[in-house]
């Protein structure tokens, strides 16, 4: 029997970790952008679900995978804008509105699939295809690296490129400065002439689009069909990664990657003689350990007492 | 502003009245018109799972067509917090004679409701209510409840037996050198473990080693509705040398067939004939057979017996291979993939279980 150590170093595990991390990474960056814009996007789950459903349906009916993916991302973007509008125009609580959008997405996607296909489970009866994988000629033949990197889905690559993109956006562009200023203190931002609402709308649109990409990956990359509620709580795990990552791009990147790796590890270890209940606690136990370590380090540096954001 | 609010309130109130009227009108009308027995299937989940609930639905639809039942279906969705009120509402509405519901999760609800509605009948499939009445439910000993459970371990036994025979005979093209088989369960509960225990015992009965059976559970938030995780687990099983994987995990199992196509390996279906329910030809080709747990047939038989007055209320009936409630798909595709010698051996193994000369261990 192979030991746990062999499993961690195997190319199967590493490739799986990249795949499993993909939706976490994208959704977590979606959550991060919204959080830094000052509106919590708890609707990541619903946006992913709506995008997954729209993507599979449009791709199935039009025969174009690209059109399906774009439609999915568009729907999620619109849901992001809707959340911003509910918050900014109607003064709704972002958490309540987000929960509402999640419920709406769960019901509406099931209804849409049933209306169009007469199937209450999902779109597995519809041939909708998947987004292309990326072969890497040259690297392909390198023993472990080739197995891990080559043949990953296009969206997996995009997910990993999202980290430098968001870091660049936050710290190197005017929009990023505005976004962070608005999220930190909207009144101060407004006083120096930053168009607060416009920046928040843009932030939530980007947040929705990233969640949408995560959703499209589930139904058009990971598998080739949509199933009712197939996001299975991934949006909420991504949200946990946002905070575990300390609201910083590379921190969020590591947290989301950590969740993905822990889940992939649980999958690879699952067939060994380890109790499944124990294995399935790995991602959650890891969260607690990481949070404890984080708090301990802050305390040692003497920044344990954080001033409330409103001061 | 105030005016607008009160107008809105009036509108909502009006709509509620309309809805309420509409519902009661329709119900009493249909009840009076036909003297048919009315059966209401209440599902703690949704249709479209391509296996368990769809099978139950199919069986009752057949009963409606052949035996003159009137069928109504209520889907409560996957949110557990809505199940208990959902069952209370379903039982309180006077639009049924028989309320049918399934899975272990509903036994307490039915055990509570059956004594409250003593002139109604209840059919519970795939788990028994607590007839002893010792744990707070079934205060009338559930004498108006019929429960039917399945020997899924017998189906598992045949699956394991077939898997090892195929492996030893090197009959699976492209997987001739592999020695292992995988079972992917939804969650680790006794009912799902019953499939697994049966599989292992069949695998060993055919000469295989128990350690060559890989077992893993999907778990998580949606154990029976997370095909992405199902695919990842199947990938891992094929990666660890499984020639075939048997998913017992509802819609999560759809991920297994995709994984099987990518790995160029094989799979078994579960509960329903999944060769029929899948549409992609490449995925169909991976399905050697499906191990049937024929919930629909059991409900159809219950409907037949109830008309004859021979259905036993106040007791649980356990059905398996001998009653044709559990079995496997023996179609042309199966005959194409499985050599005749193994098919004969499999039939013999099934006969041994039916006659009772082989006792399959159970997790229940």
* Beta-carbon pairs below 8 A across chains A and B: 100
Would you state the pLDDT for residue A285?
81
Q: How far is B351 from chain A (nearest CA, A)?
A: 32
Could you say which of B48, B239, B278 has the minimum Cβ distance to residue A120? B48
Q: What is the ipTM of this complex?
A: 0.86
State the Cα–Cα distance between residues B109 and A298, nearest whole angstrom: 50
Would you state the pLDDT for residue B78?
78
Q: Report CB contact under 8 Å: B228, A222.
A: yes
Q: Which residue range(s) make up the domain with A101?
A: 4-131+152-300
Q: Report CB contact under 8 Å: B280, A267.
A: no
B7 pLDDT more than 60: no
Q: How far is A46 from chain B (nearest CA, A)?
A: 15
Any A CB within 8 A of B241 CB: no
| Chain A residues lying within 8 Å of B236, measured CB to CB | 12, 16, 267-268, 270-271
State the Cα–Cα distance between residues B81 and B85, nearest whole angstrom: 8
Residue A145 lies in a domain: no
Choose the mutation target among B216, B248, B255, B276 for the interface with A, i.e. most A CBs under 10 Å: B216
State the Cα–Cα distance between residues A99 and A90, nearest whole angstrom: 16
Residue A172 lies in a domain: yes
Reduced to 3 states (helix: H, G, I; strand: E, B; else coil), residue B282 is helix
| Chain B residues lying within 8 Å of A276, measured CB to CB | 188, 216-217, 219
| Structure tokens given for B152 | 């899924």
B35 pLDDT more than 70: yes
* CA neighbor of B107 nearest in space, from B58, B159, B142: B142
Would you state the pLDDT for residue B49?
78
Q: How many CA atoms lie within 13 A of B348 on its CB side?
A: 9
**Interface residue ranges in chain A relative to chain B, Cβ cutoff 8 Å:** 1-2, 12, 16, 19-20, 23, 110, 114, 119-122, 124-125, 127, 218, 222-225, 227-230, 232-233, 263-264, 267-268, 270-271, 276-277, 280
Domains B35-150 and B152-294+323-355 equal at CATH topology level? yes
Sign of the Cα pseudo-torsion (B33, B36, B41, B47, in order) = negative
Cα of A269 vs its chain's centroid, Å: 24
Would you state the pLDDT for residue B18?
41
Domain count across chain A = 1
The rounded average pLDDT for each run of 10 residues, N- to C-terminus, in chain A (311 residues) is: 61 90 97 96 97 96 96 98 96 96 95 90 86 84 82 93 97 96 94 95 98 97 93 92 91 93 84 70 76 81 52 37
B220 pLDDT more than 50: yes
Is residue B316 packed enough to be buried (19+ CB in 10 Å), middle (13-18) or exposed (0-12)?
middle
B30 pLDDT more than 60: no
State the Cα–Cα distance between residues B68 and B64, nearest whole angstrom: 5
| Structure tokens given for A239 | 């949200």
Residues facing residue B245 across a β-bridge: B182, B267
Q: Say which range, B162-166, B217-221, B295-299, has the weakest mean pLDDT.
A: B217-221
State the Cα–Cα distance between residues B63 and B58, nearest whole angstrom: 9
**How much of chain B exceeds pLDDT 70, in percent?**
91
Any A CB within 8 A of B226 CB: yes
Residue A146 lies in a domain: no
Residue A51 lies in a domain: yes
* CA neighbor of A156 nearest in space, from A132, A176, A138: A132
Q: What is the per-residue pLDDT across B89-130, written as a single tens digit (0 to 9) for each?
A: 999 998 999 999 999 899 999 999 999 999 999 999 999 999
Any A CB within 8 A of B240 CB: yes
Average pLDDT score over residue span B276-285: 90
Could you say which of B215, B225, B233 has the minimum Cβ distance to residue A232? B225
Q: Which fold has domain B35-150?
A: Rossmann fold (3.40.50)
Q: How far is A306 from chain B (nearest CA, A)?
A: 34
Would you state the pLDDT for residue A276?
66
Would you state the pLDDT for residue A281?
77
| Chain B residues lying within 8 Å of A216, measured CB to CB | none
**B 40-59 residues with CB < 8 A to A:** 46-50
Reduced to 3 states (helix: H, G, I; strand: E, B; else coil), residue B288 is strand
Q: What average pLDDT does chain B have? A: 88
CATH architecture of B152-294+323-355: 3-Layer(aba) Sandwich (3.40)
| Structure tokens given for B188 | 């680790």
B28 pLDDT more than 50: no
Q: What is the per-residue pLDDT across B142-165, written as a single tens digit (0 to 9) for each?
A: 999 999 999 999 999 999 999 999
**One-character DSSP codes across A130-172:** -PPEE--TTGGGSHHHHHHHTTEEHHHHHHHHHHHHHHHHHHH
Any A CB within 8 A of B257 CB: no
* Residues in chain A, total: 311
**What are the residue boundaries of the structural domains of chain B, listed by start?**
35-150, 152-294+323-355
Q: How far is B139 from chain A (nearest CA, A)?
A: 35
Looking up residue A162, the CATH number of its domain turns out to be 1.10.3470
Non-local (6+) Cβ contacts of B36 within 8 A are: B68, B69, B70
Would you state the pLDDT for residue A140?
78
Cα of B321 vs its chain's centroid, Å: 16
Reduced to 3 states (helix: H, G, I; strand: E, B; else coil), residue A279 is helix
- pTM of the full predicted structure? 0.85
**One-character DSSP codes across A32-73:** HHHHHTT---TTHHHHHHHHHHHHHHHHHHHS-HHHHHHHHH
Residue A200 lies in a domain: yes
CA B112 vs CA B100, B122, B322: distances in Å: 15, 12, 32
Residue A305 lies in a domain: no
Residue A285 lies in a domain: yes
């Amino acid at each position: 029997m192979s030991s746990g150590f062999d499993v961690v170093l195997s190319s199967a595990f590493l490739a799986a970790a990249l795949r499993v991390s993909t939706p976490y990474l994208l959704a977590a960056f979606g959550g991060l952008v919204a959080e830094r814009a000052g509106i919590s996007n708890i609707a990541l789950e619903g946006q992913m679900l709506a995008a997954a459903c729209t993507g599979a349906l449009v791709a199935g009916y039009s025969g174009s995978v690209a059109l399906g993916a774009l439609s999915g991302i568009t729907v999620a973007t619109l849901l992001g804008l809707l959340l911003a509008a509910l918050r900014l125009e109607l003064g709704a609580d972002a958490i309540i509105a987000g929960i509402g959008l999640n419920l709406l997405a769960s019901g509406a996607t099931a209804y849409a699939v049933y209306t169009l296909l007469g199937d209450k489970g999902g779109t597995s009866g519809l041939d909708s295809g998947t987004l292309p994988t990326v072969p890497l000629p040259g690297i392909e033949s390198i023993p472990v690296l080739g197995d891990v990197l080559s043949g990953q889905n296009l969206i997996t690559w995009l997910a990993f490129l999202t980290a430098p993109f968001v870091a660049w956006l936050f710290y190197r562009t005017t929009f990023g400065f505005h976004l962070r200023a608005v999220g930190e203190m909207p009144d101060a931002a407004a006083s120096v002439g930053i168009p607060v609402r416009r920046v928040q709308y843009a932030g939530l649109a980007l947040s929705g689009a990233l969640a949408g990409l995560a959703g499209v990956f589930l139904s058009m990359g990971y598998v080739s069909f949509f199933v009712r509620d197939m996001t299975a709580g991934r949006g909420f795990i991504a949200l946990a990664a946002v905070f575990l990552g300390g609201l910083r791009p590379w921190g969020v990147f590591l947290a989301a990657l950590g969740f993905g790796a822990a889940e992939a590890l649980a999958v690879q270890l699952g067939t060994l003689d380890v109790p499944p209940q124990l294995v399935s606690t790995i991602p959650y136990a890891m969260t607690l350990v990481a949070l404890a370590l984080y708090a301990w380090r802050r305390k040692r540096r003497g920044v344990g007492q954080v001033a409330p954001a409103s001061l | 502003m105030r005016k607008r609010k009160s107008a809105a309130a009036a509108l909502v109130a009006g709509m509620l009245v309309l809805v309420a009227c509409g519902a009661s009108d329709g119900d009493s009308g249909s009840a009076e018109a036909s003297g048919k027995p009315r059966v209401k299937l209440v599902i703690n989940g949704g249709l479209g799972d391509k296996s368990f609930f769809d099978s139950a639905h199919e069986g009752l639809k057949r009963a409606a067509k052949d035996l003159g039942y009137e069928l109504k279906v209520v889907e409560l969705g996957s949110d557990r917090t809505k199940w208990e009120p959902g069952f209370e509402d379903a039982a309180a509405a006077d639009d049924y004679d028989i309320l049918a519901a399934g899975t272990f999760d509903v036994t307490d609800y039915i055990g509570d409701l059956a004594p409250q509605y003593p002139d109604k009948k209840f059919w519970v499939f795939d788990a028994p209510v607590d007839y002893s009445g010792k744990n707070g439910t079934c205060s009338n000993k559930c004498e108006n409840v019929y429960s039917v459970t399945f020997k899924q371990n017998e189906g598992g036994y045949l699956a394991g037996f077939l898997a090892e025979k195929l492996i030893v005979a090197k009959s699976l093209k492209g997987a001739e050198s592999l020695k292992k088989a995988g079972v992917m369960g939804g969650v680790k509960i006794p009912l799902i473990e019953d499939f697994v225990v049966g599989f292992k015992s069949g695998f060993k009965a055919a000469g295989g080693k128990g350690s060559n059976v890989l077992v893993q559970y999907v778990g998580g938030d949606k154990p029976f509705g997370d095909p992405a995780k199902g695919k990842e687990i199947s990938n891992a099983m094929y990666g660890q040398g499984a020639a075939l994987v048997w998913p017992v995990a509802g819609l999560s199992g759809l991920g297994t067939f995709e994984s099987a196509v990518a790995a160029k390996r094989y799979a078994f279906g579960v509960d329903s004939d999944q060769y029929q329910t899948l549409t992609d030809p490449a995925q169909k080709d991976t399905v050697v057979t499906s191990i049937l747990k024929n919930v629909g047939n059991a409900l159809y038989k219950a409907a037949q017996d109830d008309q004859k007055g021979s259905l036993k209320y106040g007791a649980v009936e356990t059905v398996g291979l001998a009653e044709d409630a559990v079995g496997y798909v023996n179609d042309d595709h199966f005959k194409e993939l499985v050599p005749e010698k193994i098919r004969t051996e499999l039939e013999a193994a099934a006969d041994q279980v039916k006659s009772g000369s082989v006792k399959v261990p159970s997790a229940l």
